[in-house]
Chains A and B, each alone.
Chain A
C-alpha cells in the first residue's frame, strides 16, 4: 500500500509552551520545550509510528501537525501546502483532509449529543450534507466501524470503551480524510478489545487508502501496526527507520534500552533476556540537558555529547539517527 509520494513533510517543528508569572503584568519566565526541532516525512498510505515515554512530546507533535497547537516555528507541508502559514477559513478547509482519533473515548465524545449527532456534526459544519443525508451517512459510518446503524440515537454513556472508540473512528472518517493522527487510540482499552480496534484501523486503511500517524507508548503494538517508526525522547526524534530495521538493528542507545525494556509474553525468552536498565528519570523539558538530550542517562555519553547537539542523519538508507557515538 505504501507509495513513495510524500503526503506530509514536517520540518524543524518546534512547540514551546510559555511559562508565565505575575498576576496583573504577566511576563514569560521560561518555556516548556515540548517539541524542539522535529523533522520527518509521512508517505501516502503508510502508517508512521511515533513512540516515546510520557512527556517526550509525541502527542504535542501530533497536535502541532494538525494545527490544534500553532507551532512556535517550523513548517508542516501537507499535500503541498504549508499549514503553519494558513489561517481562518483556509485552514478550516484543509482540516477536512486530516482528522484525529483521541486517546480517551470517555472524554472525547460530547455526553449530551447522540452518537448520530457526533458523527454527522463534521458533515454539517463543512456544509457537505443537510441533516437528512447526514443521518444516513452516520448510519453508513456506524456500519463501517462495526456498530449497529440503529444506534444513532443512543448517547455515548450507553457504549463500552471499545465501542466508543469505534464511534471516535467513525467521526474521524466522516469527512473522508487522507490523513489521521491516532493519538494513543487503544491505551485506554482492555487487552482483548485493543485487538478489535487495531484490526478495524488496519481494515479501514486498506479499504480507503488512509495514512496514519500512530502515536503510542506500547512498542509491541506500534511495531505491529506501523511501516516505519520514529522514536522520540524529550522533544526530539532520536531515531527513525523501517520497523524491522528499527527492531532488529536499533542504533541509538535510547532505542536499544527502550526495546530491551519491553517485556515479551513468553517466560522462556524472558528468562534468557538481558535488559539494559537505564538509570534515573527523564529530565525536565523546561531545562533540558545541553547537547544531546539523552546524554544524562546514556551509557555511551562522552564530552562531545554535552557540547554539541547531534545531527539527525541518515546512517543507512532510510535509517535516520541522532547520536554522536553511532
Chain B
C-alpha cells in the first residue's frame, strides 16, 4: 500500500510565561492507505500536539510549528493556503475528539452539525445532506436516526454522542480519521461498543486511522502499527505485535511492565518508572528519558539517540541494547 501521509521532522513550540515549551521535537512517521497507526504516550508527551500541528489546529500565538513537513497525497499541509487546508480538514482528514460534550455546539441540533461538512465541502443542499446524515447516523448505531436529527447534543448520552461525533467525522468519506483519545472519557462497556464500531466502519469504508491514546490495552486490539512518544519524540515504532512481544526502548518496557493485566495468574509487583516526565523548557540535546532510565550510560547524557533500525520494521531511539544491556555500536 502506498503512503497517504508522510510527516517529516515536525517541530512545535509554545511560548509560555515560564519560557518556550518544546512540545514536539522532530517527529517523522508515515501512514499507509487503510492502515491504523496508534500513537501512544502519557500526558504532555506531544502526541496530540503532533496531529494538531499537522492539521494546523494549533492556536497561534502561543503555539508555532517551527519546522517540518506533513505531506498528504504529496501536498504539504503546512504550506497550503487557508482555503486548501480547510477543504482537507473535514472532507479528507477528519478528527474525533476526547470529550464528546464540549466538542459539539450545544445550541445547534445534531442534524445541523453533522450536515455542515456536507454542505460546506460537498455542496449538498439541505435535503440531500439530511438524508445522508440520517444514513450515517444509522450506520453508527443511533436508533431512529430520522427523529434524532432535531435533538440537541445534551439529549444524547456520552457513548451516543461519541457515535454522533464519529458519524460527523466520516460523513464526507475521509481518507484519514484522526481519533484523539476518543474513548478515554467513556466507561469500559461503552468503550468496547465504540471500538467495535470503529473496527466495523474501517472494514466497510477503508479509511486510514491515527488513534491517539495512553491506553496500551485499547490499541493492542485495534492498530496495525504503533509509535510510542516521550518528551516530544517518537522513541519506538514497529508493528503492534512486534512491539508488545519485543519492546526494546526502556520506556516502552517500563510502560508495559507498569500495567496490571487481567489475564495474569498471580500477582506481581508492578514495575514503576521512577521520577516524572520531563518539562520541555529546552529542547533536550540528550536522551529525554535518561533521568528515569535504568539502562542509561554515559553517552545518553551527551547525545540524543535518533530512531535506529533494529529489525526490518522496528525502530528504536536508544543507545543501549536492552536485551544484552550493552551499548549499541
Contact = CB atoms under 8 A, between A and B. Distances in A.
Interface string B25-50: 00000000000000000110000000
B303 interface: no
B307 interface: no
Interface in B192-233: 192-193, 195-196, 214-218, 220-221
Contact of A264 (B159, B160, B188, B217): B217
Grouping DSSP codes into helix (H, G, I), strand (E, B) and loop, the A interface class, with mixed when no group exceeds half, is helix
Interface in B229-280: 240-241, 244-245, 254-263, 267, 269-274, 276-277
B162 to A, nearest CB: 12
A85 interface: no
B188 A53 contact: yes
Given A54-B187, A223-B262, A199 B220 contact: no
Q: Which of A198, A224, A267, A268 has the most CB of B within 10 A?
A: A267
Contacts of A150: none
B273 A263 contact: no
Nearest to A223: B262
Contacts, number: 123
Interface size class of A (residues with CB under 8 A): 35 or more
Given A192-B255, A220-B260, A281-B190, A266 B244 contact: yes
Nearest to B159: A281
A261 B258 CA distance: 20
Interface string A190-213: 111111101100100000000000
A217 B214 contact: no
Contacts of B215: 263
Contact of B218 (A198, A202, A263, A268): A263
A190 B217 contact: no
B270 A224 contact: yes
B272 A192 contact: yes
Contacts of B159: 281
14 contacts: A54-B187, A190-B42, A190-B277, A191-B259, A193-B273, A247-B262, A257-B189, A262-B188, A263-B195, A263-B220, A264-B262, A265-B259, A267-B220, A275-B192
